[in-house]
Structure 1
Amino acid sequence: PSLNLHHLSISLSGFYTLQQMYGCDLRKDGSKAGYRQYAYDGKDFISFDKETLTWTAADVEAQITKRKWDAQSTQNQYLKAYLEEECIKWLQKYLEYGKETLLRTETPEVMVTRKVDHDGMETLICRVGGFYPKEIDIEWTRDGEVWTQDVFHGLVSPNSDGTYYTWRSITVDPKERERYKCHVEHDGLLKPVDVAWEEPGM
């Protein structure tokens, strides 16, 4: 889980844009990460390295700011403490408030459909829906090996109930259709599933 905060400032007189983003991550293995970075007119400008308590300039124009902010050692120590402690506390609090929703898992429903193409080939479409969280791994396999040739990917999109859906398609020779399966891995599954196309009614 991550806690991300954004701030946008716009100078009306010169039409310049300064963007600030900071936040923290709490990973499954218990490790933590934190960041604070700025962009100027849509381009990376400067970012904080909490391990060295210094700032990294993205271009020459940011060097002056880097030298000034690197010298503010007390402020940089405070920022490091905030990212590693205070931000993590807030993240854990938000997770506790919404854990029934944020930490839940919904099992994906997997179905393979078929469409006949004009050139005699077929398109197999692996439709995966109703899953949560959003992260999911979907691959087409041929004879058990991952197959990437003639594969097209759909975006992972939200459903109205808070779950997600997506698809993967592959173009195949109808004579070799049985060699292909849709392989799906997700936190809502006890183990990966492999689904092939089946005749309706089977």
Structure 2
Amino acid sequence: MCGQAVPTYLPTHQQQSQGRSSTGSSSHSLQYFYTGVSEAGQGLPRFVAVGYVDGQPMDHYDSNTRRKVPAVPWMRKVERDHAEHWRNPNRRISELVFKQSLVNLQNYYNQSGGFHTWQNMYGCELRGDGSKGGYDQYGYDGRDFIAFDKETLTWTAADVPAQNTKRKWEAEPAIAQRLKAYLEESCIEWLRRYLDYGKETLLRTERPVVKVTSQADHDGLETLVCQAHGFYPKAIETTWRRDGEVMDHATFRRDVAPNSDGTYHAWLSIKVDPKDRDRYRCHVEHDSLLEPLDIAWEETGASNLGLIIGCVVGAAFALLVAGIVGIYFYKKCQDCYRAASSE
């Protein structure tokens, strides 16, 4: 059987949260990424576990050090206050399960050797409206393998070999029941607890700095670019509007991305007729703003080369860091919060 150890190496749902504080109107998430590889080399551990709160690293474990290491200062207080959980040996158990799972998977796919990865991504979300979400999914060699549906207590297999794991896990109903209890109870309790410990950073708000620039196109049109940067938390609503009408169908946007200082930036553009540019506004809504922003292009905006370069350099640094960590994650991370419905 491929490794399904989530209900054993996570904190039990009987533990109660202490000192809860308001989580604000934004959504908050607790995520874990586990990766096992069939061959170690050049310092790459055979097993890695990384925890995140609201997309920010909080702790790290790997098979080389066999130690759970805090990634942020407030986690050291968690370590002191919950020493019995912090020293929990179950990550070592998960490491052994992942090792055996890789052997089983190579048999499923009729592989005799080589470099292979077995990855687990799971977590929960506490949304701004009070609703909760949770997911647990696995990938093999960077592709979907199997995913949990906590509403039906069933597993969705991505291919024929994954059907082997689906049959084995669904033959033991207790696996799905424990996992559902974790995602809906214990995971949320720990998320609230972490938000309370790290509230000075996790519950802060940073206002976005918004600039609109323009660039002439060869076809006689021009591109208006709206950049919002330096904001926190990550959730932000940005749209291009013409005379107040949302122009989503004509908007090109990139995903919200991290900056090296822990804040985020967003980017969206639209092609317009130069004579109509004054009709367009970049509309921005964020938790840090008392009122939405509506930013128009101004003549001085055309010379903000330094701002653009700064954003590009910051993004490149953040992507470099993400790339180093990214070997431990598989490609569906972006869809994890709404694995049963949508992102």
Which one has more relative contact order, counting CA pairs under 8 Å at least 6 apart? 2
Q: Which residue of 2 aligns with 1:20?
A: 120
Alpha-carbon distance in structure 2 between the residues aligned to 1:157 and 1:54: 33
Deviation at 1:154, TM superposition (A): 4.7
Name whichever of 162-171 and 113-122 sits farther off.
113-122
Give the TM-score taking structure 2 as reference length: 0.52
Alpha-carbon distance in structure 2 between the residues aligned to 1:9 and 1:153: 34
Q: Which residue of 1 aligns with 2:200?
A: 100
Gaps (5+ residues) in structure 2? 1-27, 40-111, 301-343
> Which one has the bigger strand percentage?
1
Equivalent residues in 2 for 1:157-168 (5 A)? Answer: 157-168=257-268
The aligned length equals: 201
Q: Which residue of 2 aligns with 1:131?
A: 231
Name whichever of 105-114 and 152-161 sits farther off.
152-161
The answer as to 2:160 corresponding to 1:60 is yes
Question: What is the identity, as a one-letter code, of the residue corresponding to 1:82?
Answer: Y
Question: What is the identity, as a one-letter code, of the residue corresponding to 1:26?
Answer: L
Aligned pair in 2 of structure 1 residues 117, 24: CA closer, same or farther (>3 Å)? closer
Aligned pair in 2 of structure 1 residues 49, 126: CA closer, same or farther (>3 Å)? closer
Gaps (5+ residues) in structure 1? none
Q: Which residue of 1 aligns with 2:138?
A: 38
Alpha-carbon distance in structure 2 between the residues aligned to 1:76 and 1:155: 33
Give the TM-score taking structure 1 as reference length: 0.83
Alpha-carbon distance in structure 1 between the residues aligned to 2:255 and 2:163: 39
Alpha-carbon distance in structure 2 between the residues aligned to 1:153 and 1:33: 26
Question: What is the identity, as a one-letter code, of the residue corresponding to 2:33?
Answer: H
Deviation at 1:82, TM superposition (A): 1.9
CA RMSD across the alignment: 2.6
Aligned pair in 2 of structure 1 residues 182, 9: CA closer, same or farther (>3 Å)? same
After superposing on structure 2, the runs of 4+ consecutive aligned residues of structure 1 that deviate more than 6 Å are none
Q: Which residue of 1 aligns with 2:296?
A: 196
Alpha-carbon distance in structure 2 between the residues aligned to 1:78 and 1:155: 34
Deviation at 1:119, TM superposition (A): 5.9
Name whichever of 156-165 and 186-195 sits farther off.
156-165
Q: Which residue of 1 aligns with 2:129?
A: 29
What do the CA deviations read for 1:115-168 (whole angstroms, capped 9, x no partner)? 455665444332322221122222222222123576443553434443223333
> Which one has the bigger helix percentage?
2
The answer as to 2:76 corresponding to 1:49 is no
